[in-house]
Structure 1
């Protein structure tokens, strides 16, 4: 049998070529990197740049509203896209957003952490505070918009690559291998450089942001080159925005997913935002004590990956999600109340519990979305 015939036969059975699996899995790294670093954006602007809490709160409210509004708008736009790729001879609706959006996505990510240094510490200067607030808000909105365009297209691409659940699990397993270093780096780097920040630590942090942003472009470009869309899975008719919203909320799977997504993101953001402040004010947290503080959370991060994958394999994705959401919630509340005691050992224990569930958000979120998309398209 010729190579071309083997590929066609594989596609008819839902088998995805290894090149496509690895390309898709590799592209999980940028979003994981960016998400980890962006989790501490408030500590950068509040603790380092000196943005007043009032402006920070206003920006967060405006950003939250935009975050809710832009998802259905751009999600519907992506779903209704019909781009004919002459070179491949296929109709595409996701890959164009990934390919052309990746450079802008990385640029917007980097710009968030590069407000003019002259604006730092100008707490009593209303003019400077206004422009710092504007930079914080505009760059976040730009980042979130590109995040929606690129990541929504990326996530929606997996169900279209194959309807074979085993193949999806294999792709996700490869993705986990790429995600693990991204999770660790995306978690440790911002905390290490933004806890009790100095001019030197911020300079190093900004260099790392640029490196991560440049690196983040290439996985998406590799994906756009090697992963194929299946035109036969694309509906002929486009769906209007309000009809899409109505149909989505009629879908019980979607309603459950929205609740799950909101809870998991809330717990993640609460810990990631507060962690630099916790490590900053806890005493004593210098030298060897700092190393001991991080041993438990880092070990639990690695152990958490193994446990989550084992539960998913032995029981189900839902059981795995239940485990990691439980670990996130228990660890979150434990760390929060331990912080009031000022005891860094208790905070480390709470953070260790949290880290048992932390990888689950990155490992199981995409399969959960894929199942929701499958249910919605029936």
Structure 2
């Protein structure tokens, strides 16, 4: 809900797209800057504690933004500062969320847990923006953001009721910087992790900016403005459908399947670049959503099954950092490239790069052979030296992404 409500709030209060750009950047920059600190903090101090604190903090920051809007005291410096703090808190949330799941469910149920989480996330992507738009029209942006703040309080209350059964290593007598360096060592050591992470860094660079910036423009040119909304809804529906199916899907090599299915994400770009009209584009977006859902569940499950528990949040934070930092690079480059070579040609090229990058990790045996422990099959949980051996190149192991 928040992005829609915040965008209209800033535009209505200031009348300036420049203000909106500053507010969005104020959120993204600290998210990138503090991700590694967030991962190290989650591994050191406990993931439930970090999640509760981050959600309480987010309730305060979003509540502050809502108060400014409801009282008619909009101020760009104040809103940007609150969104900066919100971005910092988000940097602590993401690694802790991925790290806490193995502490809540058995290893052979991780895929099902991630499928359920994915289903809920994808449902909110479909209904959240629509609900936010209705609230903005009916009662205004301020109440919509206030409602968003309340949801953080509800989340914090739910998180306090979690009872993690696993336990990460006790905090060590090292500095935070040393923990971050150790996380980098672990990330670099596990070959299939950095291979797939680099792949998705490239994919995000060529896909996100192209899809977000050229997608609406080219779709309007081919099929009209209304089509873009149907395209986004179709992709969201594909994500939701496949996330639900992943709850029951049983495969031996989940990472391999995820990489193969992720290649479907290139389809909408290729359809758009080929000047095909709305039925093809909507169908392509739906199929892309199916593939992206498999890739997401496969990656999270693989990380949780094969990365040593004491380093899971830190390894996840390096993966997230690579993914996020590529997005603004692509967004900045796509405009000049489209001006120089044409939007349709850039979109086609981005789709081809996406396709090749998605399947390239399968050239690595550590990615192809990484095993998965489906429900009903209780594989031993790697720990300590055994875990190190489990993920060395050349041994049958599993992927992330």
Query: Would you say same fold, with TM above 0.5?
Result: yes
CA contact (8 A) 1:293 1:345 kept: no
1:108 to 50, 61, 78: 61
Equivalence for 1:259: 198
CA contact (8 A) 1:268 1:328 kept: no
* Cα RMSD after superposing both structures: 4.7
Equivalence for 2:268: 331
Please say if 1:175 is aligned against 2:117: yes
Distance in 2 of aligned mates of 1:112 and 1:363: 34
Q: TM-score, normalised by structure 2?
A: 0.57
Distance in 1 of aligned mates of 2:284 and 2:259: 18
1:71 CA drift (Å):
1.3
SS in structure 2 opposite 1:80? Answer: helix
Aligned length: 307
Please say if 1:155 is aligned against 2:94: no
Distance in 2 of aligned mates of 1:280 and 1:207: 32
Pair 1:374–1:143, CA change in 2 (3 A): same
Matches within 5 A, 1:202-281: 203=139, 207-231=143-167, 233-235=168-170, 237-250=172-185, 251-253=188-190, 254-256=193-195, 258-259=197-198, 262=201, 267=207, 271=211
Please say if 1:142 is aligned against 2:95: no
Deviation readout 1:170-224 (Å, 9 max, x if unpaired): 433443454443232235556x66xxxxx96384565444434423432442232
SS in structure 1 opposite 2:308? Answer: helix
CA contact (8 A) 1:63 1:140 kept: yes
| Structure 1 residues not aligned, in runs of 5+ | 1-33, 82-92, 121-127, 194-198
Pair 1:314–1:52, CA change in 2 (3 A): same
CA contact (8 A) 2:235 2:289 kept: yes
| Structure 2 residues not aligned, in runs of 5+ | 312-383, 388-401
CA contact (8 A) 1:42 1:273 kept: no
Equivalence for 1:69: 33
Distance in 2 of aligned mates of 1:240 and 1:281: 55
1:157 CA drift (Å):
1.7
Distance in 2 of aligned mates of 1:346 and 1:114: 45
Pair 1:107–1:273, CA change in 2 (3 A): farther
1:95 to 45, 48, 54: 48
Q: TM-score, normalised by structure 1?
A: 0.60
Equivalence for 1:25: none
2:290 to 335, 347, 356: 356
Distance in 2 of aligned mates of 1:329 and 1:113: 38
